[in-house]
Structure 1
């Protein structure tokens, strides 16, 4: 029986290796971008676009929800789904654990972390809520802080600390128009005015407006005052080139199904080795030792195939390169912002200042800050101009509309947005 199990396990492992090899072949065939013009190399980005099967009946500029899988990633996911469905619980109970650990090691290497600092989750929301709820260094009377541009679910988790830990919760607004110095001054002032602050939530790239925060400087400010930082990097990793150490944060939550392009339902968190004890063991988990980061999250049965497909997504991400992805997304963002910013009817909420934006940027019609106003404009863009955007709430100065191009977006599709807004702005 042992020999039989060994042979079957070997066949399963070989099948998995073959799947990853076939998934990587098309990725490996992708040519290199022109290093002199990585953002506008037409032949290169055409080759990248050809990796995506996209409905072009509408210009989809709402890619912040999640990132669709490129064809080699999708094919790997489908094959992994067939494999898991075929081999069923024998695979799940005999080989998946080792394969899941291989994925974790690959993710840690990709983000520049030690394996013992990374645990896989079902997305950034699960990762960040677990970190926030599990932070155990808070005492009654302490204060926790977050800004208006932080993600809704993370704000909810911070608010829940009022009852869970007996702390005060303080929120504040990021100024408009935002500049690097204005953002830093806002955090500097809030930290100075909140002597009992012990935990600060930060968002590297805001899902509301696309504003990129100077995280390292803010985290350093907080650390100097004994304040821990939890960073939401759901939208930044894959849009901006960085390693986790560059953030200087104590705890970070990441997504793999947004700008990395893995199947929906994959993310992870990072806890610095010297801070592991500051996060509670998840619901008294006993599957892992207390000194193992995997004891800080227990999600039960996951989508096996989604996890197995993460390396294929990382293959493509690394083949294109974080710097080239950033250059392309920034180019597509600037392509419309530069033509719309001079129109008096609109406020562009994300600054042009270098390092303060990537691909996502939000706007609003000047003075139109309500849910109704922005819902109507999203519908108008979709139904009359065939351009998909999304309304974003929660910005202190009023609601807005987010524009999120993808790697498969063409300049012609962005032109449709410009034409639509030019028409609307003139009416």
Structure 2
């Protein structure tokens, strides 16, 4: 070996060693934020506690942003970890990517599995819930021509598209139905019972745990059980529920689930994961005949290609903060913020609230409609008025069988004063 080549090998070895030292995860959000001490569970109205949580977020307060369902902004400690991870990956480049990143990526997968109550070999990281659910729907291999796949009006658009794709690719029949409005727990269960009983050829059912359209929370475990009794598999969309509701994957009673990490967990944009119960892995095809992983490894079910290294590396910091606040406290706070505006909005003329006040049927997200105003143009106009005249940001949601609506999604950094502004704006819009 020449002197130059020896020098290059020594330099590469030193760089790899430096990467190994630098690859240690930055101080987590839990380590940089101390929750105020409490001798009892945190109340959703404990202003001292929630003020300390709000202080973790840098928010533009020039507008009351009540459209936090798109994705959840990172808290400051998580953002700092993301910046440090981005700088490190950019600086160390492929020395890190081809060195210790696979080990760090696996550590993220294990951290996610622990947090959601699954085994690591039941989890595969993705770029979001959409990718996870597309993989599960397209890869589900137990369908044959003539079978029926089912979904409702409240399921997510991209997942509806994927279910429709099964008709073209698998020759199955696709049947759709509407969730009753206003909904109750009994009416929802009765709807699924009736649809399943009336569709003897059904083999696959798409279920959404928490609807992105209206915020309705479905009794997933009960529906999954009634589907299983009829030999119907369910694929659950948990994009909006995990982090907004306190639960583990086993609570759903489902074998196939897609999750987000950049919504209510607060990780960087571009991370999610899919769950397949270990005994059911064979019912999901390898992704485009992937050969990077063995056929009995769940990681062969999604082949993303080059991903955002730093986003994946930052997921543990986001989970640390989520667990420091606690899922139960987050759920209670988000439900409190929802009730804070809904209780007064229900008294306004012409306002239709699209989720029931039954605590088991909603979390933080809720949509409303003005009576007789169910068109795209109607709702775009209302969203525009709320934004431009009253400085309140909401979003129009389409696809609901009885008409389009407007979604309100408070976050942990939302203040009650911002919700007061929403209620006042709705009063002005309705002439109350």
- TM-score band by shorter chain is over 0.9
Name the residue aligned to 2:22. 15
Task: Tell me if structure 2 keeps the 8 A contact 1:23–1:75.
Answer: no
Name the residue aligned to 1:219. 224
- Distance, in Å, in 2 between the alignment partners of 1:208 and 1:369 is 13
Q: How does 1:15-414 map to 2 (within 5 A)?
A: 15-17=22-24, 19-21=25-27, 23-27=29-33, 29-32=34-37, 35=40, 38-414=43-419
Change (3 A) 1:44 1:266: same
Listed as ranges, the gaps of 5+ residues in structure 2 are 1-5
CA shift, 1:6, in A, is 5.8
Deviations 1:356-393 (A, max 9, x none): 00000000001100000000000000001000000000
Whether 1:415 and 2:420 are equivalent positions in the alignment is yes
Secondary structure at 1:355's aligned position in 2? helix
Task: Tell me if structure 1 keeps the 8 A contact 2:89–2:96.
Answer: yes
CA shift, 1:30, in A, is 2.9
- Distance, in Å, in 1 between the alignment partners of 2:344 and 2:37 is 30
Change (3 A) 1:366 1:154: same
CA shift, 1:425, in A, is 1.9
CA RMSD of aligned residues (A): 1.4
Change (3 A) 1:335 1:34: farther
TM-score under structure 1 length normalisation: 0.97
CA shift, 1:15, in A, is 1.7
Change (3 A) 1:136 1:56: same
Task: Tell me if structure 1 keeps the 8 A contact 2:15–2:95.
Answer: no
Deviations 1:156-210 (A, max 9, x none): 0000000111100000000000000000000000000000000000000000000
TM-score under structure 2 length normalisation: 0.96
Change (3 A) 1:114 1:202: same
- Distance, in Å, in 2 between the alignment partners of 1:15 and 1:23 is 18
Secondary structure at 2:362's aligned position in 1? coil
CA shift, 1:36, in A, is 5.3
CA shift, 1:33, in A, is 5.6
- Distance, in Å, in 1 between the alignment partners of 2:229 and 2:289 is 32
Change (3 A) 1:10 1:36: same
Name the residue aligned to 2:3. none
CA shift, 1:16, in A, is 2.6
Secondary structure at 2:26's aligned position in 1? helix
Change (3 A) 1:124 1:348: same
Secondary structure at 1:20's aligned position in 2? coil
Task: Tell me if structure 1 keeps the 8 A contact 2:28–2:317.
Answer: no
CA shift, 1:403, in A, is 0.2
